[in-house]
C-alpha cells in the first residue's frame, strides 16, 4: 500500500467515525444554523482500537498525521485535523504538537486559537454579522475573498448585548446557541460605561496562568466541550477602550484608543513577543476575584485620558490608536485605504495601528493591526494580525457598535 493510499484510507475511516460518534459538524453562515465544530459526548475509541490504526508504529503515525495537517490547511477540510485530535489521548498529544499557533501557521484550528495572537505580517480575514432583532453578533472566519457577501464562513464566536441600568455588557461565547453568563462556553465580555465612551474587555481566564493550572486526566478533544483544568476564574481585565468626546463634530471622525493590558508595547517591534494562552479554562461566574490578575499593569477605565495615553506608555503597554484618515475633496468625506475590504461609508469604520512608545514612529507603527468596516446593512469585515487575538479584535469591534452621541 502506498503512503498516499494509506492517508486516503485514514481519512475515510476518520470520516466514518465522525459520522457515527464525533458528530463533527461544519457550519456555513446563517443559512445553515450557525453550527460549530464540536464533539459528541461519547468518543468511539473502541472502533479505532479494533482497526489497523491501533497498531501503527508511532513514527509512521506521526508522519501520517503531519501530512494530514499539512494538506487539510483550510476549512472545511481542516475538520479532519480536529477529528484526529479526538481519537484518543495519544493522537491528541501528537496533533497538538504538530498544529502550530496562529502566529506561525496563520491557521485557526482549535477554540484556543481564538485566544492566541494572529499571524505576523498578514491579516486574518473575518466578518461579523449583526442580528438586530435579538442584539446578537456573530464572528466568522472568511473562507474566501467574497465570504461576507456570499454568507460563506466558519463560525468562531458569538456576542449578545445586555443593557444594564448603568452600563452595557456584551457576553461572548464559543456557542452561538448559548450566549449567556452561565454557559460553560463563556470566554469573556465587553462592558461599557453609561455613555458608551469607555469600555473594558474582560477575559474569563488569565492570559498566562502559569503554575496555577493543574492538569487533570482526560481523553476528550480540545474543543467546545473539553474537560479543562480548573483554576479560580472570573473576569480579568485585558484591554481598555476609550472614545474621544466630540460634541460639536469639529474634529473629524471618531477617535479611539485601546490600551492592551496584557501585551507589551515591544510586541510590535522585530523580535517582540506577546503572551499566548495554551489552554481554555471553564469559567465560574459565581466566583469573581476581588482583584485584577494584571494588577501592576491594569489601568482603570475611568482614569483613561482622552488624549495620549501617557500612563499606559509609561508602564510599557501596547496602545492602539486610529490611523488618521484623509479628507477627500471630491467625495466630501474622510477616507482610509481598506484595500477593497470595506465598501460602505460608516462612522463605525476604523483602522488601528500601534502608538509609538517614545520618540518618532517607526515602520512597525504604520502596520494596520486591526481594521473594521461595513460591507452591507448588517455585515462588517474584521481583519486582524499579531499581536492581538481574534477574541481581542472581536471585542474592540463590538465597542464600535454602541451609539456614541458625544463622540461623532
Other CB atoms closer than 10 Å to residue 24's CB: what's the count? 22
> Domain holding 162: CATH number?
3.20.90.10
Residues in the chain, overall count: 408
Count: domains in the chain: 2
Mean pLDDT of the chain: 75
Domain boundary among 99, 127, 158: 99
Q: List Cβ neighbours of 13 (8 Å cut-off, separation of 6 or more).
A: 48, 51, 53
What are the backbone dihedrals phi and psi of residue 259, each rounded to the nearest 5 degrees, phi first? -100, 115
Within a domain: residue 321?
yes
Q: Do 119 and 66 fall into the same domain? A: no
CA 40 to CA 224: how far, in whole Å? 10
Joined together, the cell numbers standing for residue 274 give 506577546
Q: Do 133 and 254 fall into the same domain? A: yes
Domain boundary among 35, 66, 99: 99
Instruction: Print burial letters for 242-272: b (CB count within 10 Å at least 16), e (below 16).
Output: bbbebeeeeeebbbbbbbbbbbbbebbeeeb
Tens-digit pLDDT profile for residues 37-75: 443 333 444 555 545 665 678 888 899 899 999 998 888
Q: Do 88 and 163 fall into the same domain? A: no
Q: Do 88 and 117 fall into the same domain? A: no
Q: Do 77 and 160 fall into the same domain? A: no
Q: Which 8-state DSSP code applies to residue 28?
A: B
Within a domain: residue 288?
no
Q: Do 60 and 200 fall into the same domain? A: no
Within a domain: residue 292?
no
CA 204 to CA 235: how far, in whole Å? 5
Q: Do 249 and 117 fall into the same domain? A: yes
CA 71 to CA 196: how far, in whole Å? 45
Tens-digit pLDDT profile for residues 215-258: 333 333 333 333 333 333 468 899 999 998 765 555 556 789 99
Other CB atoms closer than 10 Å to residue 312's CB: what's the count? 24
- In the predicted structure, residue 328 carries a pLDDT above the cut 60: yes
Q: Do 128 and 197 fall into the same domain? A: yes
* Nearest-5° Cα angle at 357, 352 to 358: 135
Within a domain: residue 197?
yes
Q: List Cβ neighbours of 210 (8 Å cut-off, separation of 6 or more).
A: none
Instruction: Print burial letters for 377-392: b (CB count within 10 Å at least 16), e (below 16).
Output: eebbbbbbbbbbbbbb
200-to-168, 382, 392 alpha-carbon distances in Å: 11, 19, 11
Within a domain: residue 26?
no
What are the backbone dihedrals phi and psi of residue 376, each rounded to the nearest 5 degrees, phi first? -160, 180
What DSSP line would sit under 198-242, residue for residue?
EEEEEESS-S--GGG-------S-SSTT----------EEEEEEE
Within a domain: residue 303?
no
For residues 137 and 122, is the Cβ–Cβ distance under 8 A?
no
Cell 467546545 belongs to residue: 224
Domain boundary among 65, 99, 133: 99
178-to-22, 158, 167, 224, 383 alpha-carbon distances in Å: 20, 9, 22, 12, 25
Q: Is the dihedral of CA 157, 188, 117, 299 positive or negative?
A: positive
Within a domain: residue 304?
no
Q: Do 264 and 144 fall into the same domain? A: yes
pTM for the complete prediction? 0.78
Residue 32's pLDDT band, with cuts at 50, 70 and 90, is very low
What domain range includes position 134?
Answer: 113-208+233-268+315-399
Within a domain: residue 298?
no
Q: Do 56 and 187 fall into the same domain? A: no
Q: Which 8-state DSSP code applies to residue 311?
A: H
Q: Do 188 and 321 fall into the same domain? A: yes
pLDDT of residue 38: 43
Q: Do 131 and 198 fall into the same domain? A: yes
Tens-digit pLDDT profile for residues 360-388: 666 677 899 999 999 999 999 999 999 99
Amino acid at each position: 500500500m502506498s503512503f498516499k493510499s494509506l492517508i486516503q484510507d485514514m481519512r475515510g475511516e476518520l470520516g466514518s467515525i465522525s459520522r457515527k460518534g464525533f458528530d463533527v459538524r461544519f457550519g456555513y453562515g446563517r443559512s445553515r444554523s450557525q453550527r460549530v465544530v464540536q464533539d459528541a459526548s461519547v468518543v468511539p475509541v473502541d472502533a479505532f482500537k479494533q482497526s489497523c490504526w491501533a497498531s501503527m508504529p508511532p513514527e509512521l503515525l506521526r508522519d501520517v498525521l503531519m501530512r494530514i495537517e499539512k494538506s487539510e490547511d483550510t476549512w472545511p477540510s481542516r475538520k479532519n485535523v480536529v477529528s484526529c485530535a479526538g481519537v484518543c489521548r495519544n493522537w491528541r498529544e501528537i496533533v497538538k504538537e504538530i498544529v502550530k499557533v496562529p502566529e506561525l501557521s496563520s491557521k485557526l484550528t482549535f477554540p484556543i486559537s481564538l485566544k492566541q495572537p494572529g499571524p505576523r505580517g498578514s491579516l486574518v480575514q473575518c466578518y461579523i454579522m449583526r442580528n438586530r432583532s435579538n442584539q446578537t453578533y456573530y464572528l466568522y472566519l472568511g473562507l474566501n475573498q467574497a465570504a461576507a457577501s456570499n454568507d460563506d464562513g466558519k463560525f468562531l464566536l458569538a456576542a449578545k448585548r445586555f443593557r444594564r441600568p448603568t452600563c452595557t455588557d456584551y457576553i461572548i461565547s464559543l456557542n452561538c446557541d448559548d450566549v449567556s453568563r452561565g454557559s460553560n462556553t463563556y470566554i469573556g465580555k465587553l462592558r461599557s460605561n453609561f455613555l458608551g465612551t469607555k469600555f473594558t474587555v474582560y477575559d474569563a481566564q488569565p492570559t498566562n496562568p502559569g503554575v496555577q493550572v493543574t492538569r487533570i486526566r482526560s481523553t476528550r478533544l480540545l474543543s467546545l466541550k473539553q474537560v479543562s483544568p480548573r483554576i479560580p476564574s472570573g473576569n480579568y481585565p485585558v484591554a481598555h477602550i476609550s472614545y474621544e468626546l466630540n460634541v460639536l463634530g469639529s474634529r473629524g471622525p471618531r477617535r479611539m484608543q485601546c490600551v492592551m493590558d496584557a501585551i507589551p508595547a515591544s510586541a510590535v517591534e522585530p523580535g517582540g513577543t506577546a503572551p499566548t494562552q495554551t489552554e481554555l479554562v471553564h469559567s465560574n461566574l459565581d466566583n469573581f476575584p476581588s482583584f485584577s490578575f494584571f494588577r501592576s499593569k491594569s489601568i482603570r477605565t475611568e482614569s483613561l485620558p482622552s488624549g495620549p495615553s501617557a500612563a499606559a506608555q509609561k508602564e510599557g503597554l501596547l496602545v492602539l490608536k486610529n490611523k488618521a484618515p484623509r479628507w477627500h475633496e471630491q467625495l466630501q468625506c474622510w477616507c482610509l485605504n481598506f484595500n477593497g475590504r470595506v465598501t460602505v461609508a460608516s462612522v463605525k469604520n476604523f483602522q488601528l495601528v500601534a502608538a509609538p512608545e517614545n520618540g518618532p514612529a517607526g515602520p512597525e507603527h504604520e502596520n494596520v493591526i486591526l481594521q473594521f468596516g461595513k460591507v452591507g446593512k448588517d455585515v462588517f469585515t474584521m481583519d486582524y494580525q499579531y499581536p492581538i487575538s481574534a477574541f481581542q479584535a472581536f471585542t474592540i469591534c463590538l465597542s464600535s457598535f454602541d451609539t456614541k452621541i458625544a463622540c461623532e
